Structure 1
Amino acid sequence: MKAVIIEGYGGKEKLKEAEVPMPIAGTHQVIVKEKASSINPIDWKLREGYLQEMMPWEFPIILGWDVAGEITEIGSEVTDWKVGDRVFARPNTTPFGTYAEYTAVDDNLLAHIPENISFEEAAAAPLAGLTAWQALFDYGKLSAGEKVLIHAGAGGVGTYAIQLAKNKGAFVIATASEKNRDLLLSLGVDQFIDYKNEDFSEILTDVDVIFDTMGGEVLENSFKIVKPHTGRIVSVVADADKELIAKADVAFHNIWLDTNGKQLAELAELMEQGKVKSIIGATYPLSAKGIYDAHAMSETHHAVGKIVIKVGE
């Protein structure tokens, strides 16, 4: 089958097309014929070698950890899925990712794609949608009526976080550039902050939950406006200074995504109901050039919504 692989760490020029062996389904796995995948920052961070100590894999490596497609084969112990099912997933993080025509997925990580959702819309959602879900609810403990600040609201994770928080009944504040104001308001943002011309730390106070996808000064300044004693800050990019956490007397979590098919099924239900939608900023083909261009866009940190890879017809 065709895949886009890397045979060494480095820049985007390391991406190449190759013929690789078909995946083999384990007893509790299915084989998915891919219709779409999507790009996440972990993809190019791993390509550059930033994560090699955490994931000391042998080459060649197939990147990519989002998939939407149809089941073509099921393992001997699989009971809840059948050939032909339309499914999507955030598979386990392995060297055999989803920049390929077929991929193997553990059966407990799958969710059905609703009939009114396209493969591209489904492929955009797993990693980013689950990251937002777990940050807001598993760690942030966000509840109705609370104030939540979502940094980089126009990004892939941010667009899902806004919708999930709004659906929960929270008062949603988000930072983004002015050009994305209308998009974010349409997703349910109650208070928009243009980060280029406004300093959120001078505008806000007593925020219950802050979701950080930026790190650095943004994360540091978030401690100035989080609600003392009961506030929660969740980051997906960095640890915070222990003194800052102690001084603010708040809960802080630096999280890593936990693959979860049940949560993905709940997200699918919200998508089916029109309460959450995928914002797709760009689509590229499964080719070395397509992935190269997609990584280039993701690396700018200014992509709107998700970048999707279309696989095959």
Structure 2
Amino acid sequence: MKAFVVDTYKKKGALRLADMPDPRMGPDDVLVRIRATAINLLDSKVRDGEFKLFLPYRPPFVLGHDLAGTVLRVGANVRRFKPGDEVYGRPRDHRVGTFAELIAVDAADLALKPERLSMEEAASIPLVGLTAWQALVEVGKVKPGQKVFIQAGSGGVGTFAIQLAKHLGATVATTTSAANAELVKSLGADVVIDYRTQDFEQLLSGYDLVLNSQDAGTLAKSLNVLKPGGKLISISGPPDVAFAKSLGLNVLLRFVMRMLSRGILNKARGRGVDYSFLFMRADGRQLAEIARLIDAGAIRPVVDKVFPFAQTAEALAYVETGRTKGKVVVTLA
């Protein structure tokens, strides 16, 4: 099969189009012919080696975390899918590789594709949809009437999270540029802050939840918009001990993460709020719930650009500019 591979961990390193062996299947696996994939900043960070201490891949490895495609074959233990099914998913860590023509995925990581979406639209959903779901539903437990602040509302996670928070009944504030204000309003944002000219810390207060996706300075400021008992959930770090334990990391790495998160945890305790780091995990059951919301019209995909498979490297470079609206997709049609 054709695939884009990482030959060595390197910042801004090139992707190479290569002939790779077809995937090996286990009894719990589904072999999928990929019709579309999506680009995430996570792909850049994995390629750059930012996560190799706790999420190592042995080069050369295939990059890519989102897929939509057609089932070709199922393992002996698989009952939920059959050949010909149209599916979408985010393969679990250590088994990624969607910048390819084929992939073997654990059946538990897949769901039937939302019926109303094209393959390209469906491929834009899994990683950002699961991130938003796990932050707002699983960890945040957002309830009607609560106030939620979602940073970077025009980005991949932001465009999905705004819609999900509104579906859950929350009042939603977000940051974006003036050029993208109408986009985030169309997704349901009630309060739109131009991050170039306005300071959210001065404009927001009494919020129940903040979904942080920005730098350390923004993380610290986010504490000040939360009410006592509020929740600060960060998808951009720093990682905490709970995250280290969930990965089964050794004592040394747990200590490192304790030190990395000590400052923000102390500040959070001082303000009577809860801090947690979220590193999204694969979950086909949650994707099935998300598909139902999409098919009901509660959430729509936001796709900025679609690149052909041959231009996967260019698509990754475009995402790295930080100027995308929603998701960037690669099609293998």
- Report Cα offsets for 1:21-59 as digits up to 9, x if no partner: 111221011100010000111101111111111222211
Structure-2 residue corresponding to 1:275: 298
1:2 to 2:25 alignment: no
Structure-1 residue corresponding to 2:140: 140
Structure-2 residue corresponding to 1:304: 325
Structure 1 spans left out of the alignment, 5+ residues: none
Q: Does structure 1 conserve the Cα–Cα contact (< 8 Å) formed by 2:13 and 2:47?
A: no
Q: Does structure 2 conserve the Cα–Cα contact (< 8 Å) formed by 1:172 and 1:188?
A: yes
Count of aligned positions: 309
AA paired with 1:4? F
1:236 to 2:257 alignment: no
Q: Does structure 1 conserve the Cα–Cα contact (< 8 Å) formed by 2:92 and 2:281?
A: no
Structure-1 residue corresponding to 2:316: 295
Q: Distance between the aligned counterparts of 1:259 and 1:199, measured in 2?
A: 35
Q: Distance between the aligned counterparts of 2:55 and 2:237, measured in 1?
A: 18
- Report Cα offsets for 1:140-185 as digits up to 9, x if no partner: 1211100000000100000000000000110011111111111001
Structure-2 residue corresponding to 1:21: 21
Structure-2 residue corresponding to 1:54: 54
- Report Cα offsets for 1:246-278 as digits up to 9, x if no partner: 111111111111211111000001111111111
Structure-2 residue corresponding to 1:262: 285
Q: Report deviation, 1:292.
A: 2.0
Structure-1 residue corresponding to 2:108: 108
AA paired with 1:112? L
- Report Cα offsets for 1:192-247 as digits up to 9, x if no partner: 1111111000011111110001131111101111112x111100011352221111
Q: Structure 1 length as normaliser, TM-score?
A: 0.96
Q: Does structure 2 conserve the Cα–Cα contact (< 8 Å) formed by 1:25 and 1:73?
A: no
- Report Cα offsets for 1:36-93 as digits up to 9, x if no partner: 0001111011111111112222111100011100000111111121000000011112
Q: Does structure 1 conserve the Cα–Cα contact (< 8 Å) formed by 2:11 and 2:49?
A: no
Counterparts in 2 of 1:73 and 1:308: CA distance versus 1, 3 Å: same
Counterparts in 2 of 1:263 and 1:96: CA distance versus 1, 3 Å: closer
Q: Distance between the aligned counterparts of 1:2 and 1:258, measured in 2?
A: 26
Structure-2 residue corresponding to 1:285: 308
Root mean square deviation, CA, Å: 1.2
Structure-2 residue corresponding to 1:159: 159
- Listed as ranges, the matches of 1:197-276 within 5 Å are 197-228=197-228, 230-239=229-238, 241-276=264-299
- Listed as ranges, the matches of 1:78-97 within 5 Å are 78-94=78-94, 96-97=96-97
Q: Distance between the aligned counterparts of 1:68 and 1:280, measured in 2?
A: 14
Q: Distance between the aligned counterparts of 2:55 and 2:116, measured in 1?
A: 37
Q: Percent identity?
A: 39
Partner-residue secondary structure (3-state), 1:208: strand
Structure 2 spans left out of the alignment, 5+ residues: 239-260
Runs of 4+ in 1 over 2 A off after TM superposition: 11-14
Partner-residue secondary structure (3-state), 1:87: strand
Q: Distance between the aligned counterparts of 1:58 and 1:186, measured in 2?
A: 43
Q: Distance between the aligned counterparts of 2:224 and 2:162, measured in 1?
A: 22
Q: Report deviation, 1:95.
A: 5.4
Structure-2 residue corresponding to 1:120: 120
Moved more, 130-139 or 292-301: 292-301
Q: Report deviation, 1:14.
A: 2.3
- Report Cα offsets for 1:108-141 as digits up to 9, x if no partner: 1111113211111110000111001111121112
Moved more, 296-305 or 214-223: 296-305
